[in-house]
Structure 1
Amino acid sequence: MIAKPFQDISLSRLGMGNMRLPVEGGKDGAPIDRARAQEIIDYAMSHGINYYDSAYVYHNGESEKFLGEALKKYPRDSYYLATKFLLFANADYKAVFEEQLQRLQTDHIDFYLLHAIFDNNCQAYLDSGCIEYFLEQKKAGRIRYLGFSSHSSPETLTKMADHHQWDFAQLQLNYFDWQYGTTAAEYKVLEDRHIPIMVMEPVRGGRLAQLSSEAEAMLKEAHPDWSMASWALRWVKRLPQVQVILSGMSTLEQIKDNVSTFAEPEDLSDADAEILLRAAEAFKKQVSVSCTACRYCCDGCPMEINIPAFLSVYNSYKTDGPWALNQMGGVDSVGKPVDCINCGACTEHCPQSINVPEIMAELARLVQQ
């Protein structure tokens, strides 16, 4: 396992995320399958992973408890614990911090984060008093390094990063969001301030572990023995500001593949990076529709469906996964996909010849599942 210096310690480049531990029966919301999860932790420890990330709310609060139990048999100085305070789960930051120490069965937390900074909650974190309290705990030795995780715009990220000299920050960072989102700008904000980056979602919640057939063929031709997830991890690893790359590993197969990716210090070559971004472009084209939001389709829709808005949700679903369907309820529209009567007026007026009725029918089925 390759490692990288961080202040006065050394951290494994691969970190163990504990948000997607195996669960009993494989059903969402089920209790953690502790036997299988312990196997994964033991494999991680035996292969040099020393960074373990959790949060107050992961697995309905059970992730921290499990981690405290799973790591209890190992010397406390052989691993580093990271966990997070989520203001809107419980605003009593003093009580939450004490509870987390108990759950994790420790007297200190190595890497402590403000959890999930968004544009609409950044100021609430800044005004809550929690930062000042956590800085006091850092002085007392109960927190070793203090940081935050961000899902915000570059502007809000800048505001948070400039609050004081943070030890680190956590970003969603992967090659797809780098090319099609604001991730490159977010990275630059932290790079300019010399803030080390812990990476979450390097495989985009698993979405980049399985691409379209054309995209996968491009990558397999270049490196037949690399998995799709390995490509994603190797791309992130080459960024100099990145410290630890987290992966929420749910199976032994996943952790074995990831450990092999981090066994050697070799980075993705520039030529390979170019191939990967071309594959990302092919993937995006194959799974999404090319709506330009011209709204020609809306004028003749008898059900008054805000078609471009729902097509945007559809594209998010195809690239981000099922959670994106939660955006459906926020679309400002008289008609919904289920109301589509398949008249075809939209497609007749679409410059891109998008088969809108077919997509509306698919969205309706997905919401009803």
Structure 2
Amino acid sequence: MVYRDFQGISLSGLGFGAMRLPVVNGNDAEINRDEAKRMVDRAMAAGINYYDTAFGYHDGNSEIVMGEALSKYPRDSYYIATKFPGYDLSNMPKVKEIFEEQLKKTGMEYFDFYLFHNVCEMNINQYLDPKYGIFDYLMEQKKNGRIKHLGFSCHGEYEVLKRFLDAYGEHMEFCQLQLNYLDWKFQKAEDKVKLLNDMNIPVWVMEPLRGGKLAKLDPLSEQELKALRPDEEIPAWAFRFLQSVKGVTMVLSGMSSMEQLDANLKTYSEDKPLNDKEMEGLMKVVDRMMSTKTVPCTACHYCVSHCPQGLDIPYLISLYNEHLYTAAAGGMTFIAPMALAAMDESKKPVSCLHCHSCEQVCPQQIKISDMMSDFVEKIG
């Protein structure tokens, strides 16, 4: 296992993300507890010592399961991170109530790492508003030893990131960004990383595979990358890219199976950053990907819990993206129509109420209602 130094602490370079744990019958709220615990056991045995969960993951059940899975291990053998759920504005006045609940759910007396969750355009004003007392309360918990290290995650644009840092940057010990080789350009992550490097704030990475999108590429792109590194698996390119980025300390991967975990462990058995030629080849792949207009969903499922129709929005977006990508490539666009035909009418895009509830909690700020309308128009 590759390790990184953080304030004298030796952190595994690969962190165990608990947003996409194995589930039962496709139900995101019902975690396969036995399999999740086996994965944690495997991760601990392999040297992973950083475990990342959050209040809203798996409809509130991720913190519970991760607490159970880690309870068998000595408290000083791992680091657990969770977050204040500011992606939902109704939580803003509840920081004390939620923090206490999180300690109970995980069975912890303290959190090693705690984050302001998903700082973005929709909540930056509330996060900075002193009337909610979020910053003051979390700083108090740090003073009391119930938070060892305080940071934040950010899905917002550069201006939002800078605004948050201007207000609280001197107190932030790390920043978690959506960072991968596609978003290096697509979401201007390169500029955000530079800002953090300039402020000497270590970078934590979420969505290294962009919700699995970078685990498999189009045949031409895979062929080009294989020519550069014949023995490197395609998903590993995402991690090798991150091993090449200055300031990256922690890379989180949300793993849903033992196979994914083992593949990532193999990758993180060594550092193999990209050389200039390999980086140039990878950016060529990125340019090709960006030429196709798709929706930047990472399948976080926040939207699902806020949809009054119970639509599986990430799945519908994946079908929409597949349809767009295939059409742009001149392929036969039969997969999405076929999949939709097998669905109950009440779960299709046409059932969207355009109430925008899902958009209020979307970290990617996707205009989901517009996407649903366009999907209906394209599919018929």
Q: Normalised by the size of structure 1, how large is the TM-score?
A: 0.79
Who is 2:100 aligned against?
98
**What is the aligned residue count?**
314
Q: For residue 16 of structure 1, what is the amino acid of its counterpart?
A: F
The 5 A counterparts of 1:60-99 are 60-87=59-86, 88=88, 90-91=91-92, 92-99=94-101
SS at match of 1:189: helix
Specify which of 128, 133, 138 is matched with residue 129 of structure 1.
Answer: 133
CA drift at 1:195: 0.7
- Percent of pairs with identical residues: 43
The 3 A distance-change label for structure 1 pair 163 and 338 is closer
Q: Which digits, 9 at most, give the CA deviation of each residue in 1:63-89, with x for residues without a partner?
A: 000011000111110100100001325
CA drift at 1:7: 0.6
**Unaligned stretches of 5+ in structure 2?**
295-318, 326-335, 337-348, 350-361
**Unaligned stretches of 5+ in structure 1?**
290-312, 340-359, 365-369
Who is 2:356 aligned against?
none
| Whole-Å separation in 2 of the counterparts to 1:48 and 1:245 | 14
After alignment, is 259-268 or 71-80 more displaced? 259-268
The 3 A distance-change label for structure 1 pair 134 and 230 is same
| Whole-Å separation in 1 of the counterparts to 2:227 and 2:200 | 37
SS at match of 2:274: coil
Who is 2:201 aligned against?
195
Who is 1:18 aligned against?
18
Q: Establish whether residue 172 from structure 1 lines up as the match of residue 193 from structure 2.
A: no
Who is 2:305 aligned against?
none
SS at match of 1:68: helix
| Whole-Å separation in 2 of the counterparts to 1:50 and 1:195 | 21
Specify which of 212, 228, 231 is matched with residue 225 of structure 1.
Answer: 231
Specify which of 126, 139, 143 is matched with residue 139 of structure 1.
Answer: 143
Who is 1:111 aligned against?
113
Q: For residue 11 of structure 1, what is the amino acid of its counterpart?
A: L
| Whole-Å separation in 2 of the counterparts to 1:138 and 1:318 | 47
SS at match of 1:124: helix
The 3 A distance-change label for structure 1 pair 317 and 138 is farther
Q: Establish whether residue 212 from structure 1 lines up as the match of residue 218 from structure 2.
A: yes
The 3 A distance-change label for structure 1 pair 66 and 140 is same
Who is 1:186 aligned against?
192
| Whole-Å separation in 2 of the counterparts to 1:211 and 1:126 | 40
The 5 A counterparts of 1:153-302 are 153-164=157-168, 165=170, 166-285=172-291, 287-288=292-293
CA drift at 1:238: 1.4
Q: CA RMSD in A?
A: 2.6
| Whole-Å separation in 2 of the counterparts to 1:272 and 1:52 | 31
CA drift at 1:317: 7.9
| Whole-Å separation in 2 of the counterparts to 1:147 and 1:8 | 17
Residues 112, 143 of structure 1: 8 Å contact kept: yes
| Whole-Å separation in 2 of the counterparts to 1:34 and 1:337 | 36
Residues 18, 51 of structure 2: 8 Å contact kept: yes
SS at match of 1:29: strand
Residues 29, 61 of structure 2: 8 Å contact kept: no
CA drift at 1:49: 0.6
SS at match of 2:47: coil
Q: For residue 5 of structure 2, what is the amino acid of its counterpart?
A: P
Who is 1:150 aligned against?
154
SS at match of 1:162: helix
Q: Normalised by the size of structure 2, how large is the TM-score?
A: 0.77
Q: For residue 153 of structure 1, what is the amino acid of its counterpart?
A: E
After alignment, is 44-53 or 268-277 more displaced? 268-277
Who is 1:355 aligned against?
none
The 3 A distance-change label for structure 1 pair 98 and 193 is same
SS at match of 2:68: helix
CA drift at 1:96: 0.7
SS at match of 1:20: coil
Q: Which is greater in Rg?
A: 1
